[in-house]
Chains A and B, each alone.
Chain A
Amino acid sequence: MDRIKDKVAIITGATSVGIGRETALKLSAEGALLTVTGRNEEEGKKTVDIVKSQGGECIYIKHDVSSEKNWNEVIQGTINSYGSIDYLVNNAGQFWIKPISETSLDDFKQICSVNIDGTWLGMKLCLDKMNDGGAIVNVSSLMGQMGLPEGAGYCASKGAVTSMTKSVALEAAKRKIRVNALHPGVIWTSMVGGGEGGDENLKNFFIQETPIRMVGLPEHMADAILFLCTSDYITGADINVDGGRLADGSMGSHAG
């Protein structure tokens, strides 16, 4: 399995059990050389250890995605280690819900800072350094397409991610760099109160609310990310990985 052998990938938000770490394992298994980033140094190093124990190459760089200085360090560190960049997976993100009347402007700016600025900075700073023919995958959300009660900040931030994905896709097309967004539904990780030891009642609620009657797992997202890294004619697209939730449009009416 060497679909992306010796390609260099940066994956943000890869410092915990979840989409980022699973994507690291998937891309590594297909031959990619990795930089994994995130704020939690201990967990980041753990991701490196797991990838290396399976025969992959991986470095960790501490990273707050809303910091331009940190992004420059991530990019320089990656170039120093591998010489170039082929793929950027903007996976780091923040999720919380709160009634809009109780949300401060600082709260709103903060979620936008991570989800919008973090993705924007990654695209802005990586593009010039990326090899032609590379790919950027932005992990947006189903909530970038629909409403969620008490989720105005999150929905706004993810809507922006999906929207700017299309703009940057058009700019990057001349270099055959593909830029796409993924819209995960409920992926059973700590971000939604799930993962190992998560609330079983909550899990069952999500399962019943999803047409395919299951919650998504990080590996499902990792498969879709690999697909977008290797699909040469897909750009400016947004693809749902949601078990049919957007198709039946029921999520907003049941949440909250």
Chain B
Amino acid sequence: MNSLKDKTVIVTGGGRGIGATTCKLLATEGANVIITCRTEEQGISIEDDILSKSGSAKYISHDVTKEESWQNVIRETLKIFPRIDSVVNNAGSYNYQSISDCSHESFKSLINTSLDGCFLGLKYGTEAIRKHGEGGSIILMSSVLAKIGAVNMSALSAAHGGVKLLAKAGACELGPEKIRVNSIHPGLVDAYTDEEFKKNYPDSTDSLEYEKNSIAMIPFQRKGSSDEVAEAIRFLVSDESVFMTGAEITIDGGLVAQ
């Protein structure tokens, strides 16, 4: 499979969950994959996995909320590969708290990672793609929470709603340069084990129970898989979606159709 041959793709939050699955899939499709995340151990582990299967990958340490960190990722990528074709802005944070319980600091922290991180990815990704002038694909990871409200998810809804329209604004502005910007809207996705989730989001463990109860509300009666989201990302990175920009791909087993 060579649908991404010779494309260089940066995947943020590539050390675990959907990001890690995406890195592996893109590599099997022939892409040079830049895995970025804050936890070196995880990033190196995904890099090793891809290299062991004769894929092309490199881990670069990255805090998506910092401009200088983005500049460093672009600079380091271009030392290894000749050009950048695509940025997958997958990194994001999580919060499951009522509006009363959610501190302003927690709210701002989530917006900073999930929305500001996407803005910086769009800004610096565009700058990098412009260097070769042949266009590219920028993908912003949003959520079904950009389409519906949900209890205890005010910060996520605000961030993901912002991400959805950021993608459309980017599509309008960057279309003439053939830089495509699309958003992906997963519903519940089985990206982490309960233990991994508790470790990463100790303030939001109530949501594990909520998620278990929510599966009955999904028309497909199951969560999605990281593989299924990764395939949508592959499609949007590839030239199979060359006329798609400003579009939303919802991957939710029918959750928001009802």
Question: Residues of A at under 8 Å CB distance from B?
Answer: 166, 169-170, 173-174, 176, 185, 210-214, 216-217, 220, 223-224, 226-227, 230-237, 239-248
* A243–B242 CA distance with the chains assembled, in angstroms: 8
B180 contacts partner chain A, Cβ-Cβ < 8 Å: yes
Interface size for chain B: under 10, 10 to 19, 20 to 34, or 35 or more residues? Answer: 20 to 34
B257–A244 touching, CB < 8 Å: no
Residues of B within 8 A of A226 (CB): 240
From residue A151, how far is it (CB to closest CB) to chain B in Å? Answer: 21
Residues of B within 8 A of A217 (CB): 243
Which B residues, 226 to 258, have Cβ-Cβ distances below 8 Å to chain A? 228, 231-232, 235, 240-254, 256-258
Which B residues, 172 to 215, have Cβ-Cβ distances below 8 Å to chain A? 172, 175-176, 178, 180
Residues of B within 8 A of A166 (CB): 257-258
A239–B240 touching, CB < 8 Å: no
Q: A217-B243, A236-B250 are in contact. List 11 more A-B contacts (CB 8 A).
A: A173-B220, A185-B243, A213-B176, A220-B242, A233-B220, A234-B228, A237-B257, A239-B250, A241-B244, A243-B245, A248-B246
Question: Residues of B at under 8 Å CB distance from A?
Answer: 168, 171-172, 175-176, 178, 180, 219-221, 224-225, 228, 231-232, 235, 240-254, 256-258
B243–A170 touching, CB < 8 Å: no
From residue A218, how far is it (CB to closest CB) to chain B in Å? Answer: 11
The 9 A-B pairs of least Cβ separation, nearest first, read A236-B257, A247-B246, A211-B175, A173-B219, A220-B243, A247-B168, A223-B240, A166-B257, A244-B246
The 10 listed contacts between A and B (C-beta, < 8 Å) are A227-B235, A233-B251, A234-B249, A235-B253, A236-B219, A239-B249, A241-B247, A243-B244, A247-B246, A247-B247
